[in-house]
Chains A and B, each alone.
Chain A
């Protein structure tokens, strides 16, 4: 009895990423989930791409559904934090799908990553409506979020544009974020001016400060 499974499925070698969620216990890497949200066309995918790949792709397609990136950030003290960045579709009709992306239901990361540790709420400085919509996005986060400590930042993208094309001033954006007691950044995914690296670097260090190691360690 029980022999017929002898020839069963050969156990497949699992190719794991260099940064494995189930890493060695001594070499624990911290993980944080970050969601990029904001109106359609404000440059969420470009922000993610500039940060991950260090390039600006002029031929960026609009995001239908969601896409996903990850990157390791190292700190001066030698520790590091891996950011899982979820890039979502900003389109109106996709907003009903959004709750799906707020929870990552992974076996490995379910306990802590049920919800995002941080949300980058983006607007475009060329589109004043996208700034107004930030409140809607913040409400959505409150509605679907279950991590009370979630860090939220407001980001005005496309800071490289001419003054003539600008619809939202730096001051205006700053004031908007100040009123809501949120950190503010103005970035450009087009220019390699380090603004986006700075954004994620600061975000990562704030995540590190706000969350305990246990909350960031994804050991089940």
Chain B
């Protein structure tokens, strides 16, 4: 009944438009006769004919558009009903046909009001699987207060604030490329062990992320707990979804680290009972406060390739502003080969704050040492960015960084590269070398060029007069540091045992 009636609603609205569209047709002969009365010139007749033709074409287009809309509504109606039928597991109420119909009607009303491009809210909503589950959860909650109609406005809020970000604006298809890249990067920053493990078993994040995000966890977590998550989520921005995801992964990390690909796929879509939601939310908040905003781009469905093909990019490249800021046009954030977080210079180097250097270690990884010698950031260390796993130098670097972080907890390691060597490979290799023990490694967007441009005062020339500094000298420095660090560690340990 509800299926048919909501179709009828739409059909009637379209027909009313259709009649409106036919009116001008009836007026056409009148217009012609009036104009003929005024003058009988053939040319004017011609132009009028053209006008009429255009009118007809426009009308035909409108009707075509409307009929396409109608087909879409028909499809949505069927699809929504199809999905609602399969929501029985959510709540005992959902077994009743009448309740299903009510939820179906609410979703169709939501689409009816906000699915139209002419609605006042400015956002065109559409149906995407997952919305059914969200609607059911909302319905069962609002039913307690006899306020089922809130479901409609809540669906609109959820769609515009959360789901919309994962749909391509042009095609309305789901796009999860960037969200997957992002989760991988955040894992490499906070949980490098898990990042390495997933990489080793070649586990792809879209296997669970699509479901978690598009149902706002309703498919994976019990309804009572999902409501708790939503209460927090609705106060935050869409990024909070990723922090919750990270929180969940962190909580089941020990289990995940033991599993191979097949078992991981099995467990990750069945996390019910494995997680403690309150802890996850607490952890998510910690992540949210700790994560620099420049790690996350606001446009999740951005297509760098499409943008590159755009002619305007070539024009922009010639612009002086962008000529200096090459990194802004290379869309590093959307490159899937960069598996570590990217941070912007103005965020990581905040000279307004006198303590900005605290807990930060800057590592220059430019290939050419003479470049570093010529100009580098005050207090930054040089490491040969081209060194790799197996090199003794590389091993020393990893050891140094790991010890540094152990002695000075919470240190953020910022890799400074350059255009040809962004530094992500070095960062990824160093995480691997330390078996995921090194956390909080990120790469500076724009590398040395960004600091030169943003904070030229922080730059200095290398070398102490009379001493020839080479990369080897730096290694001896590290060795000294490591010796000291080890000594202090031993001292700490012995003090502990003494106490």
Interface membership of B139, Cβ < 8 A? no
Contact partner, B133, options A61, A70, A96, Cβ 8 Å? A61
B82 touches A40 (CB 8 A): yes
CB distance from A32 to the nearest CB of B (A): 14
Interface size class of B (residues with CB under 8 A): 35 or more
0/1 string, A49-87, CB within 8 A of B gives 1: 000000000111110111110100000000000000000
Residues of B within 8 A of A58 (CB): 88
A96 touches B211 (CB 8 A): no
A97 touches B83 (CB 8 A): no
CB distance from A14 to the nearest CB of B (A): 7
Interface membership of A12, Cβ < 8 A? yes
A91 touches B206 (CB 8 A): no
Instruction: For the complex, give the distance between the alpha carbons of A96 and B132 in Å.
Output: 20
Would you list 27 pairs from A and B whose C-beta atoms are within 8 A, ordered by A residue?
A1-B396, A1-B482, A8-B434, A9-B193, A9-B436, A9-B437, A13-B258, A14-B258, A14-B260, A15-B259, A16-B260, A41-B85, A61-B89, A62-B86, A65-B210, A92-B75, A92-B79, A93-B126, A94-B174, A96-B173, A96-B174, A96-B175, A97-B176, A100-B206, A105-B202, A107-B200, A107-B201
Residues of B within 8 A of A2 (CB): 395, 399
Residues of A within 8 A of B207 (CB): 65-66, 68
Given contacts A8-B435, A41-B86, 15 further A-B contacts (CB under 8 A): A8-B434, A15-B259, A17-B262, A40-B79, A40-B82, A40-B83, A65-B214, A66-B206, A66-B207, A89-B129, A93-B167, A97-B176, A97-B210, A107-B200, A108-B261
Interface membership of A139, Cβ < 8 A? no
Residues of A within 8 A of B434 (CB): 5, 8
Interface membership of B263, Cβ < 8 A? yes
B269 touches A62 (CB 8 A): no
CB distance from B5 to the nearest CB of A (A): 21
Residues of B within 8 A of A17 (CB): 260, 262-263
B210 touches A64 (CB 8 A): yes
Interface membership of A164, Cβ < 8 A? no
Q: Which of B391-419 contact A (CB under 8 A)?
A: 395-396, 398-399, 402-403
Instruction: For the complex, give the distance between the alpha carbons of A40 and B127 in Å.
Output: 14
Contact partner, B206, options A3, A65, A68, Cβ 8 Å? A65
Q: Which of B169-224 contact A (CB under 8 A)?
A: 171-176, 193, 200-202, 204, 206-211, 214-215, 219
Least CB separation from B210: chain A residue: A65
Interface membership of A148, Cβ < 8 A? no
Please judge, given known A-B contacts A2-B395, A105-B202, whether A96 and B262 are in contact too, CB under 8 Å.
Answer: no
Instruction: For the complex, give the distance between the alpha carbons of A91 and B78 in Å.
Output: 12
Residues of B within 8 A of A89 (CB): 129, 210
Interface membership of A95, Cβ < 8 A? yes
Instruction: For the complex, give the distance between the alpha carbons of A64 and B209 in Å.
Output: 10
Please judge, given known A-B contacts A64-B130, A67-B269, A93-B167, whether A4 and B260 are in contact too, CB under 8 Å.
Answer: no
Q: Which of B56-77 contact A (CB under 8 A)?
A: 75
| Top 7 A-B pairs, shortest CB-CB distance | A65-B210, A96-B173, A59-B89, A41-B82, A91-B129, A9-B435, A65-B211
B206 touches A15 (CB 8 A): no
Please judge, given known A-B contacts A59-B89, A65-B208, A91-B79, whether A4 and B200 are in contact too, CB under 8 Å.
Answer: no
**B interface, CB within 8 angstroms of A:** 75, 79, 82-83, 85-89, 126, 128-130, 132-133, 167-168, 171-176, 193, 200-202, 204, 206-211, 214-215, 219, 257-263, 265-266, 269, 395-396, 398-399, 402-403, 434-437, 479, 482, 486
Please judge, given known A-B contacts A16-B260, A40-B129, A41-B83, whether A4 and B210 are in contact too, CB under 8 Å.
Answer: no
B437 touches A8 (CB 8 A): yes
Instruction: For the complex, give the distance between the alpha carbons of A13 and B257 in Å.
Output: 9
Residues of A within 8 A of B269 (CB): 67
Contact partner, A93, options B128, B435, B436, Cβ 8 Å? B128
CB distance from B381 to the nearest CB of A (A): 17
Instruction: For the complex, give the distance between the alpha carbons of A64 and B201 in Å.
Output: 23
Residues of B within 8 A of A15 (CB): 258-260, 263
B436 touches A105 (CB 8 A): no
Please judge, given known A-B contacts A62-B86, A64-B211, whether A70 and B403 are in contact too, CB under 8 Å.
Answer: no
Least CB separation from A9: chain B residue: B435
Interface membership of A106, Cβ < 8 A? yes
Residues of A within 8 A of B215 (CB): 64
A93 touches B173 (CB 8 A): yes
Please judge, given known A-B contacts A2-B399, A96-B171, whether A70 and B89 are in contact too, CB under 8 Å.
Answer: no
B128 touches A91 (CB 8 A): yes
Residues of A within 8 A of B486 (CB): 3-4
Instruction: For the complex, give the distance between the alpha carbons of A202 and B331 in Å.
Output: 49
Residues of B within 8 A of A106 (CB): 201-202, 261
CB distance from A8 to the nearest CB of B (A): 5
Residues of B within 8 A of A108 (CB): 261
B258 touches A12 (CB 8 A): yes
CB distance from A37 to the nearest CB of B (A): 15
CB distance from B203 to the nearest CB of A (A): 9
- Find the residue from A8, A9, A92, A105 having the highest chain B CB count within 10 A: A92
Residues of A within 8 A of B171 (CB): 96
Residues of A within 8 A of B258 (CB): 12-15
Residues of B within 8 A of A62 (CB): 82-83, 86, 129, 132-133
Residues of B within 8 A of A12 (CB): 257-258
Instruction: For the complex, give the distance between the alpha carbons of A24 and B44 in Å.
Output: 88
Q: Which of A136-166 contact B (CB under 8 A)?
A: none
0/1 string, A104-126, CB within 8 A of B gives 1: 01111010000000000000000
0/1 string, A1-40, CB within 8 A of B gives 1: 1111100110011111100000000000000000000001
Least CB separation from B254: chain A residue: A12
Instruction: For the complex, give the distance between the alpha carbons of A13 and B263 in Å.
Output: 14
Residues of A within 8 A of B479 (CB): 1
A61 touches B86 (CB 8 A): yes
